Amino acid sequence: MKNSLFITLFFAMILPAHAHFQELIPSTDIVTVQGDRDLSIELVWGHPMEDETMEMAKPIQFGVQVDGSKQDLLETLEPQTVKDHQAWKAQYTVKRPGDHIFYVEPAPYWEPAEGVMIIHNTKVVVSAMGRESGWDEEV
């Protein structure tokens, strides 16, 4: 029994990951008082473990939450191409201390292997000016 469990776990770990992921990639994850406050944020859809991208439709929602207050950033998105596929990019300037929670709700996609529509809600935290609070807030 232990051998079969070990063999199963071994092969599960060495097989490549074929999962799709919504990536939300800030140019930095820490903004200091003296540092650059301008962020570039990339939204990419694909297989990051295989370094592959896929077409990404314009998201349904994209924004930032600071101290519980949300700001809609959907209109700041600009289309871009990443490895021959549609992706998105936004610019944002940090104006105050605190954790900036960037979030995206991408358009749903059909996953034939599971027979369902899937939405990959994603968030990333950028800590600003030494005030690291709110990173665990729900969006």
Question: What is the tens place of the pLDDT at every residue in 88-111?
Answer: 999 999 999 999 999 999 999 888
Are 44 and 56 in contact by the 8 Å Cβ rule? The answer is yes
pLDDT at 109: 86
Question: Over 80: is that where the pLDDT of 13 sits?
Answer: no
- In which domain, by residue range, is 47 found? 17-128
139: in domain: no
- Please give the average per-residue pLDDT across 3-18, as a whole number: 52
Domain count, the chain: 1
pTM: 0.83
Which residues lie across from 82 on neighbouring strands? 85
- Region of 129 on the Ramachandran plot (φ > 0 left; ψ -120 to 50 alpha; else beta): left
Residues 49-91 have pLDDT tens digits of 887 888 899 999 999 999 999 999 999 999 999 999 999 999 9
21: in domain: yes
24: in domain: yes
Which residues, including other chains, have CB under 8 Å from residue 96's CB and lie 6 or more apart?
A: 66, 128, 129
